[in-house]
């Protein structure tokens, strides 16, 4: 089991939830929504307070995934402010972004069953996860 998988399992067990908004609330992470243009969201810590900022113009599935992605940053690297997550960085090769994408995918897939005749794309759609994340399933 790799680092990200252990981190997701530990988080779900500790907070008894796989809902990124619920976990953020329990961790006292402040979530803001505002218009960000092409930016989907970002994470930062200021004066020991953690913040996740989400683009208000996203649909609920996008907000859920981006919140889970930014939560991954908050849990895996709490002291490290992240650059903006843009639509074009969903397939980023940066280690920290790849880990956050994997964290979000595993968190949101938790509790969903991959049926034998189901395609990866159908499973991702069922979980509200972008198709670009299929490599983590």
Tell the burial category of 93 from Cβ atoms under 10 Å away from its Cβ (0-12, 13-18, 19+): exposed
Q: Which CATH number fits domain 3-131: 3.40.50.720, 1.10.10.2910, 3.30.750.24, 3.40.50.10540?
A: 1.10.10.2910
Give 137's Cβ-side CA count (13 Å radius): 24
Q: Note the pLDDT of residue 115.
A: 86
Q: Note the pLDDT of residue 84.
A: 54
Give 43's Cβ-side CA count (13 Å radius): 24
Q: Note the pLDDT of residue 38.
A: 87
Q: CB–CB of 55/66 below 8 Å?
A: yes
Q: Please state the domain extents for the chain.
A: 3-131
What's the token pair of residue 135? 């490599």
pLDDT in tens, the chain (137 residues): 799 999 999 999 999 999 999 999 999 999 999 999 988 999 999 999 999 999 999 999 999 999 999 999 999 987 777 665 555 555 555 888 899 999 999 999 998 888 888 899 999 999 999 999 999 98
Residue 125 to residue 31: CA distance in whole angstroms:
25
What's the token pair of residue 49? 């307070």
pTM of the model: 0.89
């Amino acid at each position: 089991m790799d680092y990200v998988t252990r981190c997701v399992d530990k988080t779900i067990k500790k907070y008894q939830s796989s809902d990124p908004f619920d976990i953020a609330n329990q961790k006292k992470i402040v979530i803001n929504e505002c218009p960000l243009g092409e930016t989907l969201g970002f994470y930062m810590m200021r004066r020991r307070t953690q913040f996740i900022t989400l683009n208000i113009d996203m649909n609920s599935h996008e907000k859920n995934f981006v919140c889970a992605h930014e939560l991954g940053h908050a849990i895996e690297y709490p002291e490290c402010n992240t650059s903006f997550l843009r639509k074009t960085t969903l397939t980023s090769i940066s280690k920290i972004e790849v880990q956050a994408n994997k964290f979000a995918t595993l968190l949101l897939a938790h509790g969903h069953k991959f049926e034998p005749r189901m395609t990866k794309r159908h499973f991702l759609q069922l979980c509200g996860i972008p198709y670009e994340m299929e490599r983590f399933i």
